[in-house]
Chain A
Amino acid sequence: MARTESPAEAAPSPVTSVPLADLDESTIVARAQDGDPKAFEWLISAHQGGVYRLCFRMLDDRGHAEDIVQETFIAAWRGLPHLATVQAFVPWLYRTATNKCLDQLRQRKRRPVDPTAELDGTSMEVGGNPSSGEDPTRSPLLSSRGRSALADGGPVDPAEQIETQEQLRALAGLLQTVPPGPRACWLLREVHGFSYHEIAAIVQLPESTVRGRIARAKRVLAEGMSPWR
């Protein structure tokens, strides 16, 4: 029979080991590589939100975004022992999630999820323009973002807050009109803060192509946001 007690319980000691939260992230990745579930759970806490928001902004679908977060982290657990360097972990997560999102968007294009959208002549890609802000499938998430903008603001002019919410809603909607490739690059750069070099590694494209895609996305978004100035 294998003894599986955690060392902290099995070995009461006058000295204590460094708690997980006080370790550097590279050490936590290394421990997860050795199969430590607690270290891995810490990494989930640290990164699931960012990966989820990337997937949600890519797919505009909460359920599909959650599925991809789940698949990405399960793949991470299985792939961790083979990861060459601990620094590669976070870019690897985003690369896996981005690829899964792009695959899903390609599948949607081939086989639209909602047949009535096709009959109405509205494709998946243009579903998020600002005029469709009243779309009942979208409004719960938008309104929840609106609430948090209000909650975070403190004593600020309510009119200004409403305007900010409207602008965030417009940007989120417009983002869905940007083609998936440029959308992924723009999100990774502008929202998740990766460098051009890192994004080139994540999407497996030359840095010049990444720059071009981000510039294309900015043009679509900046032009689309103009009416809100």
Chain B
Amino acid sequence: MALNDDRFQEERPRLGCGRELDDLWASIDDPPTAHEQSCPDCRHARAALHHLASVTEAMRDADPQDPGLQPGDRVRNAIMMVARAEVRRGRRAPLRTTTLGTIDISEQALTALIRFAAGTLPGVHARRCTISTSGEGRRRPIAGEAVDVGDIRITLKVAVASSISIPATMVALRERVGTVVQAQTSITMAQIDIVVEDLYDV
């Protein structure tokens, strides 16, 4: 259909000899074919594309080094100001009650502690960590509400090095996380599930 042909021409530019520009570009680093050596359209386009390729490469190399082509500090500051103001602390776990009130640890601080503990084992990169308690059912947890510290269950996702023994490392990891959290917060976790989701070095 004529309309489709026109649209095709519009979308995929061709040289005077009928060849698609994209095809020519794909073989720009190969030696010219017999047709390209004899066809003036191809010869001219090849030279022009070759030149464009070298200037493009120069731009690709020069731009990231150019201090004038970096966003100013105000950009990072503005983004981080919003990010810090919107830190999702999640629920809170009461650790101890004193005469001055209750000392809580936020879900966010607890998961950070768990990731820290996991990261002390060689070959383990701790990723996402979720905390659940058996009592909450299917209800979505509400930020700021208190959780039952006697029934904390975690699921920790990790990426591991391809060289480690996964079963032995998982035993050590479960023990390390449990010990560090117990020592730092006095929370004894009811369940520690670990999911190996990736090998980070392959």
User: Which residues of A line the B interface, CB within 8 A?
Assistant: 1-8, 10-11, 13, 15-18, 23-24, 26-27, 30-31, 33-37, 40-41, 44-45, 48-50, 52-53, 56, 65-66, 69-70, 73-74, 77-78, 81, 86, 140-141, 144-145, 147-149, 152, 164, 167-168, 170-172, 190-191, 193, 208-209, 211-216, 218-219, 221-223, 225-226, 228-229
Contacts and interface: CB of A to CB of B under 8 A. Distances in A.
Main secondary structure of the interface of A (DSSP, over half): helix
A173 to B, nearest CB: 12
Main secondary structure of the interface of B (DSSP, over half): helix
A35 B108 contact: yes
Contact of A13 (B13, B112, B180): B180
A40 B83 contact: yes
Given A3-B109, A52-B70, A225-B51, A219 B128 contact: no
Given A52-B71, A215-B20, A221-B52, A27 B82 contact: no
B87 interface: yes
Contacts of B89: 2, 4
Nearest to A2: B106
Interface residues of B, number: 75
A6 B111 CA distance: 11
Contacts of A66: 71-72, 74-75
A109 B68 CA distance: 27
B107 to A, nearest CB: 9
Contact of B69 (A5, A15, A56): A56
